[in-house]
């Protein structure tokens, strides 16, 4: 006899990002098929304000299964999709008052609540992220932090879990978050089998970064600091002390450090370690080289330094990181 299905309700509204809805829905659907008929799977339903179809940002229309008001206590997991718009050449999250008002009453009745991409702004507007760590797409993370100072916004992870509330980054990270939910509900083997079935390149855990170190600072043509960052990435095994970098730009160490901090919002030493750590991460993901080789090739030098950097920055060991990714 089959077990009762875990009820997943994905909330959508006009202009929503299509993959915010269909990505997690597909993960739960595939997991159900992989689990087989004799294990509890997932029943996924789409809710819209009036129960009618909604046009997504791509123009594709989504059919709804029920109205917001009809959700009631029918959601074991309630996921809030998001929408963004372009305003004066700026990306802005869409905040729908009707949606946030509904979330305030619907979310407490769900066993687990999550948001995809800009959906975090809706959870925050409903007061559901107060006092919690949260993430969203890096393009709107600064706005989320500015508008909701009571939320501990971290723009780097692809998803964050805080109790029964989950938030994730850009649209495709919704697949990673949904896989993590499958792992929580049914164990890691089913989540990995689901990822394989979906031909996902890698099943990422929440600690993996949204973007690479070079992308973390916007490039500016002709900018000396930006040119230096490119040079750093190509010379990770060189002496990259502040003194050496300052001399390369013909600046005093003090002036260089101040300029670098203003341009990148970090110190030269921290940036260099981040660049070296990213190189080490990629070698762990893409090669079978030994830890001493990776430490040397990334510029971190020793296995001890490699371990310290991983523990401090990622909260894991190089070996565990390789096993996951």
Residues 307 and 160 in one domain: no
> How many separate domains does the chain show?
2
Residue 219 confidence class, pLDDT cut points 50, 70, 90: very low
Helix residue ranges, H only, 187-241: 188-197, 224-234
Instruction: Identify whether 1 is part of a domain.
Output: no
pLDDT per position as a tens digit, 267-314: 999 999 989 998 998 898 778 899 999 999 999 999 999 999 998 887
Residue 254 lies in a domain: yes
Q: 54-55 and 61-62 as β-strands: parallel, antiparallel, unpaired? A: antiparallel
As a whole number, mean pLDDT of residues 113-120 equals 97
In a domain, 209, yes or no: no
82-87 average pLDDT score: 90
Mean pLDDT of 150-160: 89
Nearest-angstrom CA–CA distance, 263 and 257: 10
- For residue 8, what are the β-bridge partners? 44, 77
DSSP summary character for residue 215: G
Sign, Cα dihedral of 300, 306, 311, 314:
positive
- Within 8 A by CB and 6+ apart from 240, the residues are 232, 268, 272, 299
pLDDT at 96: 93
CA–CA gap between residue 80 and residue 118 (Å, rounded): 9
| Shared-domain flag, residues 127 and 97 | yes
Which pLDDT does position 225 carry in this prediction?
Answer: 87
Question: What is the pLDDT, as a whole number, of residue 215?
Answer: 44
Give the pLDDT of residue 189: 85
Task: Tell me: do 182 and 95 sit in the same domain.
Answer: yes
* Number of CB atoms found within 10 A of residue 59's CB: 7
229-253 residue pLDDT tens: 889 988 999 999 999 999 999 999 9
Whether 204 maps to a domain, the answer reads no
In a domain, 240, yes or no: yes
Beta bridge partner(s), residue 159 = 168
Same domain (yes/no): 27, 139: yes
Give the pLDDT confidence score for residue 315 in this predicted structure: 77
Weakest mean pLDDT among 137-141, 174-178, 215-219: 215-219
Please report the pLDDT score of residue 213 as a whole number: 53
Q: Are residues 29 and 106 in the same domain?
A: yes
Contact 17, 117 (CB under 8 A): yes
What CATH number corresponds to the domain at position 180? 3.40.50.880
**What is the CATH classification number for the domain harbouring 306?**
1.10.10.60
Judgement on whether residues 38 and 140 belong to the same structural domain of the protein: yes
Q: Which domain holds residue 104?
A: 6-197
Whole-number percent of the chain with pLDDT over 70: 92
Which of 197, 227, 262 lies at the terminal end of a domain, its last residue?
Answer: 197
For residues 19 and 122, state if they share a domain.
yes
Query: Which among 111, 139, 108, 50 has a CA at the least distance from the CA of 121?
Result: 139
């Amino acid at each position: 006899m089959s077990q009762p299905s875990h009820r997943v309700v994905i909330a959508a509204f006009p202009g929503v990002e299509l993959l915010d809805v269909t990505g997690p829905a597909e993960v739960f659907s595939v997991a159900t098929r992989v689990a087989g008929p004799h294990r509890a799977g997932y029943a996924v339903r789409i809710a819209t304000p009036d129960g009618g179809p909604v046009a997504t940002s791509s123009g594709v229309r989504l059919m709804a299964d029920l109205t917001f008001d009809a959700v009631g206590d029918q959601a074991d997991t309630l996921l809030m999709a998001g929408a963004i718009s372009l305003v004066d050449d700026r990306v802005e999250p869409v905040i729908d008052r009707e949606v946030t008002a509904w979330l305030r009453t619907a979310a407490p009745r769900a066993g687990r609540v999550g948001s995809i991409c800009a959906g975090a702004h809706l959870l925050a507007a409903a007061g559901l992220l107060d006092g919690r760590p949260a993430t969203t797409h890096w393009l709107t993370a600064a706005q989320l932090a500015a508008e909701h100072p009571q939320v501990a916004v971290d723009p780097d992870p692809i998803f964050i879990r805080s109790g029964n509330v989950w938030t994730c980054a850009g649209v495709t990270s919704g697949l990673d978050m949904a896989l993590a939910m499958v792992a929580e509900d049914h164990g890691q083997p089913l989540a990995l089998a689901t990822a394989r079935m979906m031909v996902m390149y890698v099943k990422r855990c929440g600690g993996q970064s949204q973007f690479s170190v070079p992308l973390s600072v916007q490039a500016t043509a002709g900018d000396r600091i930006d040119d230096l960052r490119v040079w750093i990435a190509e010379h990770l095994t060189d002496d990259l002390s502040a003194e050496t970098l300052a001399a390369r730009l013909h600046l005093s160490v003090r002036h260089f450090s101040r300029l670098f901090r203003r341009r990148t919002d970090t110190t030269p030493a921290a940036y260099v370690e981040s660049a070296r750590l990213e190189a080490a991460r990629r070698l762990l993901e893409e090669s079978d080289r030994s830890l001493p080789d990776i430490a040397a090739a990334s510029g971190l030098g020793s296995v001890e330094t490699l371990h310290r950097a991983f523990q401090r920055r990622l909260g894991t060991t190089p070996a565990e990181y390789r096993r996951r990714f």
